A and B are shown apart, each in its own frame.
Chain A
Amino acid sequence: MSRSQPAAGQAGAVPAPRRRASLRPWRRAIVGGAIVATIMLVAIFAPLLAPYDPNEQDLLNQLLPPVWAGGNWDHPLGTDNLGRDTLSRLIYGSRVAMIVAVAAASGALVLGTALAIVAGYFGGIVDWIVSRLVELWLCFPPVVLSLILIVGFGVGLRNVILAIILVDWTRFCRVVRAEVLVVRRNDYIDAARLAGFSHWRTIRREVLPAVAPLILTILSLEMGIAVIVEAILSFVGMSVESTIPAWGVMIADARKDMYQAVWGLVLPILAIIVTVLGFNLLGDGLRRALDPKLRQRVIQ
């Protein structure tokens, strides 16, 4: 039915000339992306950047403070209770964080999005099963489920990634399925079928591009979540093997000495927060820049 518009200006789109490319909507994504890229580079070039071997103990220099708190330039960020260099451990710790972030988030993306698209596009019994599966998964707080999975699989980087994938695919599945249902209601999906497109081709050419901005956004947010979950797991000693430095392990170790050496606790915490903030800014920025419709929406 015709619905008259309140404002004169809204009648018919103005055939606008192509908009001048502006960086403004991208500002947030750029800041986030820069943070993430920096940490990625640190992780890749860790052996070149780190002044010490992260596991090298120096029992004469235990619990040194950072340089601004009375330490010395041999260990700019101080040492831990075994005299290991904090800076080197932070630098190497970024490797675990980044590997888990990329691998676990991508895995969750593939599993969750595939199920979401099949469920949302075809509907019916497939959708029913997938929806109930998500509901079943949501019965567990994510931390509890990942702990159970790690107990089952055993510790190690591969198992941590697998556990996070198996826990967090639902995040993609829920949000993307809802979006596919919205896209599916558009007549251009039926129009593609009438143009002779197969289901597979319709999904690839019409549905996927429509949900891609959303997927990218969740991917970025999920990377931040994966960093947190890995930190939680390593905090309780259920993540990587003890010889590999990880931020969560550093926090757990430093907690015992927090009265004497507060910076040993604060620095890995800051590392986690900055990393997660980077991913969140990137995700939030992508959401704003890629799809104006998503601008107001909050993605869980």
Chain B
Amino acid sequence: MSGGVLGVALRRIGVSLPLVFLVSVLVFVVLRLIPADPVAMSVPPNATRAEIEALRAEMGLTLPIHEQFWIWFAKAAGADFGKSIAFAQPVSRLIGQALPATIELVVVAAVFATIIGLAGGLLMYRVAGGRGEAASDLASTLIMSIPEFLWAIFFILLFGVALNILPFTGRLDAGITVGRITGFLLVDTLIQGRFGAFLNALSHLLLPSMSLALGTAPLLMRVLRSSLMEVGNEDYMMMARLRGFSERRVLVHHAFKNAFLPTLNLMGVQFSFLFGGTLLVEVIYSYPGLGSLMVQAVANTDLPVIQGVALVYAVAVLLINLGVDLAALMLNPKLRIAK
């Protein structure tokens, strides 16, 4: 059986590669529509025409567009996205600094979202049919109407400004510095045995990750609830009861795994939305991640950074989906038939 899993997994990865290529074409083409001239912004206002032309040539902008693309793509494949116009640094270095922070945020948020989503889904299933159903329905609709960046501002107002119990800027308090090993603060602080700094980093993650999780979880709750209800009518549930198993065992050992599969599929989509949500949440919490970098680059029309970060986002989403697909493959035997 494992051969089948491996085969399907390899095929899935093989399909992702052309997608990465198409994604980069898309990014490149869209950003060539740009009305502003990237060169004009990166030279002093008193530059001569000749200087501008020289820079154009240096940046490769005089070549035909498809040649420009191939040059850019070949470099990007080697993680060389060129040099930032605004920061005057290699884009890859900027991304390298920002990426671990964002991944840390996304992982913690995904854990929260999963916990809230599954617990909430089970709760909604339990109250279904009773008085609590309408209330839980309405509550989930209300929560679903609040996007993560509004949660972020709410939390700052509530926990940061009003109650003043949790920090809401950056990754660490101003006085603390942690030597960089992996870039993941939660990991680095533990390696260096600095538990105070670990807790500090964790407290900084709490509000942004909860904002992201609350923007993601309600849909998971609803899908889990409705798939639990659907599974409840299946013949194998009846058969398990008729073989004398208790309701609890039937729910845990026969219903849950089946009901979880649609939820898992949704997680792929939801977690890539969550990745996009970091953009604003990072800006709001002054969190030095990819999102902050992207927004600054957009404000400066810093094309090389925008292209590089966009590509990293797309690859990250592809990886998330790949991970979810592989998890589904492990859990759902029906997918394991090599077609």
- Residues on A facing B (Cβ under 8 Å): 135-136, 138-144, 147-154, 224, 228, 231-232, 235-238, 251, 255, 258-259, 262, 265-266, 269, 272-273, 276-277, 280-281, 284, 296-298, 300
Chain A min CB distance to B117 (Å): 12
Interface centre among B26, B149, B226, B317 (most CB of A within 10 A): B149
Partner of B33, one of A147, A153, A251: A153
- Which single residue of chain A is at the shortest CB-CB distance from B276? A141
Total count of chain B residues near the partner, CB < 8 A:
54
**Is A269's CB under 8 angstroms from B34's CB?**
no
Which residues of A lie under 8 Å from residue B36 when comparing CB positions?
A: 154
Stretch of B91-99, B187-195, B298-306 contacting A (4+ beta carbons < 8 Å): B298-306
Say whether, besides A139-B314, A144-B279, A269-B154, A151 and B306 are in contact (CB < 8 Å).
yes
Complex-state Cα separation, A141 to B33, whole angstroms: 20
A154 to B35 CA separation, bound complex (whole angstroms): 7
B242 within 8 A of A: no
Nearest to A259 among chain B residues (CB) is: B161
Q: Is the CB of B161 within 8 A of A136?
A: no
Closest to B316 in A: A141
Q: Which residues of B contact A139 (CB under 8 A)?
A: 19, 23, 314, 317-318
Contact assessment for B157 and A298 in the assembled complex, using a CB-CB cutoff below 8 Å: no
Residues of B within 8 A of A (CB): 19, 22-23, 26-27, 30-36, 141-142, 144-147, 149-150, 153-154, 156-157, 161, 219, 222-223, 226, 229-230, 266, 269, 272-273, 275-277, 279-280, 283-284, 294-295, 298-299, 301, 306, 310, 313-314, 317-318, 321
A284 B141 Cβ-Cβ under 8 A: yes
B222, A298: Cβ atoms closer than 8 Å: yes
Q: Mostly helix, strand, loop or mixed at chain A's interface?
A: helix
Q: How far is the CB of A150 from chain B (nearest CB, A)?
A: 8
Which residue of the partner chain, among A150, A152, A238, A273, contacts B145 with CB atoms under 8 Å? Answer: A273
A225 → chain B, closest Cβ, in Å?
A: 9
Contact present for B317 and A140 (CB under 8 Å) = yes
Chain B residue with the shortest CB-CB distance to A224? B145
Which residue of the partner chain B has the closest CB to A150? B298
Contact status A228-B147, CB under 8 Å: yes
Tell me how far the C-beta of B147 lies from the nearest C-beta in chain A, rounded to whole angstroms: 5
Chain A residues, CB < 8 A from B153? 251, 255, 265, 269
Contacts of A140 in B (CB 8 A): 23, 276, 310, 313-314, 317
